[in-house]
Amino acid sequence: MGVIPVKWGQIKSETVENMTQINQDRLIQHFIDLVKIDSESRNELAMSQEIAEQLGALGFSVKKLEVPAEISNGFNVYAKLPGTLPGSVLISAHMDTVTPGNNIEPIIEDGVIRSKGDTILGGDDKSGISALVEAVRSIQEQSLAHQSIEVAFTVHEEGGLHGSKNFEMEHIESNSAIVLDSGGPIGTIITSAPGQQNLKVTIKGRPAHAGLAPEEGINALYVASDAISNMTLARIDEETTANIGVVKGGQATNIVMPELYIEAEARSLDDAKLAKQVAHMEETFQAAAQKHGAEVEIVSTRAYNAYKIVDSDEHVESIKQSFSAVGIEPQTKSTGGGSDANIFNSKGLKTVNLSTGMAKVHTTEEYITVEDMVSITRFLKQHLTH
């Protein structure tokens, strides 16, 4: 099979066996249509409007939930489709993408969907949205009984989980949720994810002429270097990491650097370990500042909390059974990244994160396979109808 531009109709559903009557052509075309909608973080208006309209056409009652203007020009989408089977589950995905995510031109080659190479693809996270919509379409076409289905599609997930942090939880009736926003083999169930603490550090030294009187200055970079050289960073243990990610400072080569700004983070699956690492980083900055006669200001904020759900939990077990029922081997694992699942769990909604098969996300080499998209859709159809 050669390269196929944006239309998917040339490849027939019969090429993949036992897809439990998922309309593969429609699923992939829908995904292609969505990734062509520009929706970089904070600019999700067109995407949120499109998704709200599509859910309404499927019979969902839809609520457009406003968010602060500095978060997005779009809105969070809540929707509900009552079912006739016992139970209710919330399915969630985010509508934004990282940059470069405008003017995406998707290409299908040998069963793999990617961009033409100068943008991301947007499978993170439009693959999750497409899977949910196609699962519901298939359920309705076959007049299958289903659980009540709630949907939470969020804005500005990338770079801070802002949409879920501002999601109006009072609309949600389900006791459990599935976020479709991870990579790895289909069947991967993320049952634990780390908490993250962000540090914004400003080191204030003293300016001086670098050529005439450097000894009269206090170089903020020297202070930062001393601190970082004495700091435990990168992989701390199997549950904990830390990183210095942003460094800004300096005015000219002939001025002793008077001020330096640093952004850092620490993550851990264990709250006590996270607190210990953050304290270590703060204390090391403070000790270096005191040693060199500088000042240091540290703003420490929690980005999100860790979550951990045991494998024997009823919600996890039901997801495992649904994967097994469609011939997919489930596996639970932890991750080093955060997602909307962290926020929903912190708000009391038991939530796991599932892989949609997305790969090399946040890069121009991002891709997803047709087979994986069909498989996660088959899982959703199974799970929602049992």
Task: Give the Cα-Cα-Cα angle 188, 159, 79 (nearest 5 degrees).
Answer: 65
Which of 350, 323, 386 shows the shortest CA–CA distance to 83? 386
Q: Catalytic: which of 157, 259, 366, 372?
A: 157
Query: What's the CA gap between 341 and 333, in Å, rounded?
Result: 14
Active site residue 170: no
Evaluate whether 88 touches 348 at the Cβ level (below 8 Å).
no
Q: 183: how many CB neighbours lie within 10 A of its CB?
A: 20
Q: Catalytic: which of 96, 125, 150, 158?
A: 96
Query: What's the CA gap between 189 and 182, in Å, rounded?
Result: 9
Which of 90, 91, 96 shows the shortest CA–CA distance to 67? 96
Query: What's the CA gap between 74 and 96, in Å, rounded?
Result: 10
Distances in Å between the alpha carbon of 14 and those of 17, 19, 21, 31, 282? 6, 9, 10, 19, 59
Query: What's the CA gap between 380 and 221, in Å, rounded?
Result: 52
Which of 302, 320, 87 shows the shortest CA–CA distance to 191? 320
Length of the chain in terms of residues written: 386
Is there a cis peptide before residue 96, judged by omega within 30 degrees of 0?
no
Query: What's the CA gap between 107 and 7, in Å, rounded?
Result: 9
Distances in Å between the alpha carbon of 306 and those of 97, 104, 235, 244, 313? 23, 34, 17, 20, 17
Active site residue 314: no
| Residues classed as catalytic | 96, 157
